[in-house]
Structure formats: structure tokens, C-alpha cells
């Protein structure tokens, strides 16, 4: 199974920038999208269906905000919309697909960029989501967790760690959450293949030269639980794909 995780920063905007043409190149079997900023009824995604994908959408209650979707060429056995957290569900942050004994979770983690109130919400969300994952992992040990985590884990994952040590997305508490995740039998699939520096998946749009000069952050991940470690075949980041301020991240896994 080839999986893409991609924050498109508005799927309608991405389509105008050539998103569907990119899908025609067959980049993956399963495309996990975050920040759709749209409901299923708002988008003419028939060209995506024509490519052999089936779409599964989970939109936010607030129009033009957040939202996740999955386009899959492989039919899931079950689809679960959201989780136990009603506030998170209202913001359309999680969708889950089951393929045999594999559970694929597509998640759009909250950002703390709009102020302290949302930062505190982010901390609460992270704590609740970690506990949810811990509980669900006992039911389905083989989990793939992809999405925009809105956290750069280590200094290698950000172009200016010193200058951003007080920036949301690189705060000690957020990075500690990632430490805790990987200490609890989760695998950073990208780092299994790529120990090198300067590999990023998001670049600020406030400064036009940031992406050109590759001054980015790696905040998008496809991580797996330990029982799947021996099944991962390849992982990559595709910075040349430009429909968003993020770029796609990729995993190939033998299921």
C-alpha cells in the first residue's frame, strides 16, 4: 500500500493549482488530506473519482475550516468518522479507515498559532489523543497515524531551532509529546530511511523566499506502531509538489 499524507490548505485552492493533475500521475493508493476547508457537497471531486479513488470526508461544523478526507483506491472494511472527543469532532480533525487488521488514522492536529487559548486547547487535545491511541492500540495493534501534527520533533526537523525555541510547533511541551509517542512503540517512518538534515514538509507563506531557500519545518508525518516496523518499505517527502504551503509525505508499506 502506498500512502500520501498532505495538508492541502484548502482543497478547492489546491485543485486550482493542479492537484488533480498530480493525482493523475498515480502518486499513491491512499491519499490522506488535511485542512480541506470544505464539505463534500462544496467540491466537484468527480475527476478524482474518475481516477479510481473513492472519497471519505469528515468536515468541520464551521464552514471553510479544518476538515479531513481520504481518497482511496483500496476499499476499506470500515470507516470511522472522528473519535470520542466531541470538540475535536466538531472541528473535523480525525477520520479512520480499516483495511483488514490495519487501522489508518488521518489526523489534523490543532495549531497554537492564533494565541494562548488555542495553545492550551492543543495541549489538551494532545493529551486526550495520546490516551485514545494508547487505548485503541490494545484493540488494533497495527496502526498507521498520518497527518499534519503541527509539531517539529527535533532540531533536525526545523531550519532554525534556536530562533524558534519559543514558537508554537517547537515548544518543549510539544516536542516532549512526540518523545512520549515514540517511546510508546511508535516509529518515525521517514527517519528510518532518511537521517539527513534539511528535509521539511512546510514553509511559511509570509515570506516568499522561505520555500525557495528551504527554510522549513517537518511537521507532517506518517508514523506506525512497532508491529508494522518490519513492513515499511520506503518513506519520502516530495517538496517539488506545490499546491499548498505543505508538501506531500509518503509511505510504502507491505500490508
Q: What domain count does the chain have?
A: 1
Q: What are phi and psi of 43, to 5 degrees?
A: -125, 135
Position 207 confidence tier, pLDDT thresholds 50, 70, 90: confident
Q: Which residues contact 95 (CB under 8 A, 6 or more apart)?
A: 56, 57, 58, 68, 69, 70, 79, 80, 81, 82, 105, 106
The pLDDT tens digits for 58-73 are 999 999 999 999 999 9
**How far, CA to CA in Å, does 1 sit from each of 22, 24, 93, 172, 186?**
18, 17, 23, 34, 19
The pLDDT tens digits for 168-180 are 999 999 999 999 9
Position 151 confidence tier, pLDDT thresholds 50, 70, 90: very high
pLDDT of 208 reads 81
- Which residues are marked as active site? 148
List the CATH number of the domain containing 142.
3.60.10.10
Could you tell me the pTM of the whole model? 0.98
Range of the domain at 249: 2-253
Task: Inform me whether the pLDDT recorded for 85 exceeds 90.
Answer: yes
Amino acid at each position: 500500500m502506498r500512502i500520501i499524507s498532505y495538508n492541502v490548505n484548502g482543497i478547492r485552492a489546491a485543485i486550482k493549482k493542479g492537484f488533480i493533475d498530480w493525482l493523475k500521475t498515480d502518486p499513491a493508493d491512499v491519499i490522506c488530506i488535511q485542512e480541506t476547508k470544505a464539505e463534500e457537497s462544496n467540491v466537484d471531486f468527480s475527476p478524482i473519482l474518475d481516477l479510481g479513488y473513492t472519497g471519505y470526508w469528515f468536515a468541520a461544523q464551521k464552514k471553510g475550516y479544518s476538515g479531513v478526507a481520504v481518497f482511496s483506491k483500496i476499499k476499506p472494511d470500515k470507516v470511522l468518522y472522528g473519535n470520542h472527543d466531541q470538540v475535536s469532532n466538531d472541528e473535523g480533525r480525525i477520520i479512520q479507515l480499516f483495511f483488514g487488521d490495519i487501522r489508518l488514522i488521518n489526523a489534523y492536529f490543532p495549531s497554537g498559532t492564533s494565541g494562548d487559548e488555542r495553545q492550551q486547547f492543543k495541549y489538551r487535545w494532545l493529551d486526550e489523543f495520546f490516551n485514545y491511541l494508547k487505548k485503541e492500540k490494545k484493540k488494533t495493534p497495527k496502526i498507521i497515524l498520518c497527518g499534519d501534527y503541527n509539531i517539529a520533533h527535533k532540531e533536525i526537523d526545523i531550519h532554525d531551532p534556536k530562533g524558534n525555541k519559543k514558537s508554537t510547533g517547537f515548544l518543549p511541551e510539544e516536542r516532549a509529546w512526540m518523545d512520549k509517542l515514540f517511546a510508546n512503540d511508535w516509529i518515525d517512518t521517514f527517519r528510518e530511511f532518511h537521517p539527513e538534515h534539511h528535509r521539511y514538509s512546510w514553509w511559511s507563506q509570509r515570506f516568499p523566499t522561505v520555500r525557495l531557500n528551504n527554510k522549513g519545518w517537518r511537521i507532517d508525518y506518517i508514523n506506525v506502531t512497532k508491529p508494522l516496523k518490519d513492513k515499511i518499505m520506503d518513506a519520502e517527502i516530495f517538496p517539488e509538489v506545490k499546491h499548498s504551503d505543505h508538501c506531500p509525505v509518503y509511505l510504502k508499506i507491505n500490508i
